[in-house]
Amino acid sequence: MTAAPRTPRTREERLVLAIAVLASIVSFLDATLVNVALPAIGRDLGGGLPTQQWAVDAYLVTLGALILVAGSLSDLYGRLLVLRVGLVGFGVASLLVAAAPFPAFLIGARAVQGIAGALLVPSSLALITSTFRGRAQGTAIGAWTAWTSAATLAGPVVGGLFVDVLSWRYAFVLNVVPIAVTLVLLARLRARDVRAPGARIDLPGAVLATLGLAGTVSALIEQGELGWAHPAIWAPFGGGILLFAAFLVRQATARAPMMPLSLFRIRNFAWGNISTAFVYAALALSGFVLVVFLQQRAGFSATAAGLVSIPSTVLMVLFSSLVGRWSARLGPRVFMTVGPLLAAAGYSVLFGVDDHVDYLTRLLPAILVFGVGLTLTVAPLTSAILGSIEPARSGIASAVNNAVARVSGLLAVALVGVVTGGVLDAAGFARALVVIVALFAAGGVTAFAGIRRARAEDAGSRGDARAVQGEEGDVEHRTDHDEAEERARPGSREAHDEARGDDGSDGDEAADDEPAGGR
């Protein structure tokens, strides 16, 4: 466990750090509290399991498809402007979610939240990387990590309390408070926005990805009601697959693709992302079915269900940095193999549970073993993927990895109805456990088969990556936008060059402390 980071000295630095933390906390809180609110949403609005699935996946469809273009938008229009748009959009969408009178309205508002959420964390981290230099950047990243980890820890509990004491609707209204404070702080910030006119946005790619994912997910969620033979199921499913295939063709032929496929020719990057897909699909599926089952079948309150995951989050907060250092010395392969297998073993403890789940003898041991496995996995996973890429492409590499994690989670939640048979009772929960354990195990086996330790000279070059790992796993790197900002600050280039002399590993160290795909 590392010492608490020092507070930045200048007024501008303090403002930037506060803005970055608060803007990211909005996304972290929403992502962690929504699962706890799902049973209450279902009781209030109706629609059964499909409504609960859409409440999660409508957000993930737009977030997963658009997060790859967020960096280009920041470069083209300015990070401060993009951040403001994201904050206002997220706030308005949160209020619409809170006021939702019927399921379709809620789903549409959640999709808008996803669009806005795709703008928040990349822009927030970009503010840190463009404002802080040298060791001060590592200090700022440490503070950002500490506060966002605290938000992750508090989210399920805060959401559960709102659901139990007031209403699930107030849990979404809560987002407005940090958004309003952040907008006030942005107005006090003296830094001027800088744009990179040469930046390109792959708009056709973004449209193809969004429609492809939406069509596929819609079919997977609704097939339980209509059946695969219904045109409203097979048509969007087939169309979604074709559109996503067109997206991949677009990425292979575009001059400025949002997801460069050439990255997948690098061994650790390709195998690391396959492992990411398995692990984060298991995380999304387990996070959904466990909290819903505990509330709807086992009689847990929303607050109690939110508290269940706290031990695993505490383990990650306390020991991820230590595991990152071990991984740097021993290589990521053993951790990426053992970690998911331990996570699978943890969920295996829950086999055989019925509607009466004992916390001390079944849930707590399962969550602790799972937490150890997850803690062993996330930092080495980040290290393996980002360490395989040259510094100039570390930003887009992490954005791709984050998108892989989001999309795999999106598809896993969409498959809940297929896996459980449409009913999340004890039998459906047992079937979901089989898939969860298999996915975690597949992540470990994939890592063992494909991950190799980087050569010493490659490890040395990673120290100059200047990468910053974020919530959603995003890494921001030096782009044309950063160069423009440097030119706008007289004398800062020399200061940066001098700072780099004693900052050999801050970037990589920061990347090791956070999961590539987000929590």
Which residues are within 8 A (CB) of 177 and not within 5 positions of it... i.e. 6 or more apart?
Answer: none
Treating both helix axes as pointing N-terminal to C-terminal, what angle do 134-161 and 103-131 enclose, rounded to 10 degrees? 160
At 514 the pLDDT is 40
At 298 the pLDDT is 85
Please spell the DSSP secondary structure of 193-231, one letter per residue.
Answer: P---TT----HHHHHHHHHHHHHHHHHHHHHHHH-TTSH
Q: What is the rounded CA–CA span in Å between residue 290 and residue 265?
A: 37
Residue type, 354: D
At 482 the pLDDT is 43
H helical segments located in 254-349: 267-296, 302-308, 310-330, 333-348
> In the numeric block, which tokens belong to residue 304?
């109690």
Residues written for the chain:
519
| Model pTM score | 0.74
Strands 475-476 and 468-469, bridge-based pairing: antiparallel
With residue 468 as reference, give the H or E element that holds it: strand 468-469
At 84 the pLDDT is 87
Place of tokens 């100039």: 392
Q: 3-state SS of 10-27?
A: CHHHHHHHHHHHHHHHHH
At 1 the pLDDT is 44
Number of Cβ within a 10 Å radius of residue 2: 11
Are 205 and 258 in contact by the 8 Å Cβ rule? The answer is yes
Instruction: Per residue of the chain (519 residues), give pLDDT as tens.
Output: 444 444 446 777 788 888 888 887 887 777 778 888 888 888 888 878 888 888 888 888 888 778 777 767 776 777 788 888 989 999 999 999 999 999 999 999 999 998 898 888 666 766 776 676 666 665 666 566 667 766 766 778 888 888 888 888 988 888 888 899 989 988 887 766 666 666 677 788 888 888 888 888 888 877 777 777 888 888 888 998 999 899 889 988 888 787 888 889 888 899 999 999 999 999 889 988 898 898 888 888 888 888 888 888 888 878 877 887 788 788 889 999 999 999 999 999 999 888 788 888 889 999 999 999 988 888 788 778 877 777 666 667 767 887 888 888 888 888 888 888 777 888 889 999 999 999 999 999 999 998 887 654 344 334 433 333 333 333 333 444 444 444 334 334 333 433 334 443 333 433 333 444 444
Sign of CA dihedral 98, 99, 101, 103: negative
Please spell the DSSP secondary structure of 142-177, one letter per residue.
Answer: HHHHHHHHHHHHHHHHHHHHIIIII-HHHHHHTTHH
Q: Considering only CA atoms, which of 412, 411, 383 is closest in space to residue 516?
A: 383
At 341 the pLDDT is 96
With residue 476 as reference, give the H or E element that holds it: strand 475-476
At 174 the pLDDT is 85
Are 422 and 223 in contact by the 8 Å Cβ rule? The answer is no
Q: What is the rounded CA–CA span in Å between residue 72 and residue 198?
A: 10
Q: What is the rounded CA–CA span in Å between residue 145 and residue 136?
A: 14
> In the numeric block, which tokens belong to residue 454?
């980087």
At 393 the pLDDT is 67
At 504 the pLDDT is 39
Cα Rg of the chain, angstroms: 22
Q: What is the rounded CA–CA span in Å between residue 438 and residue 451?
A: 19
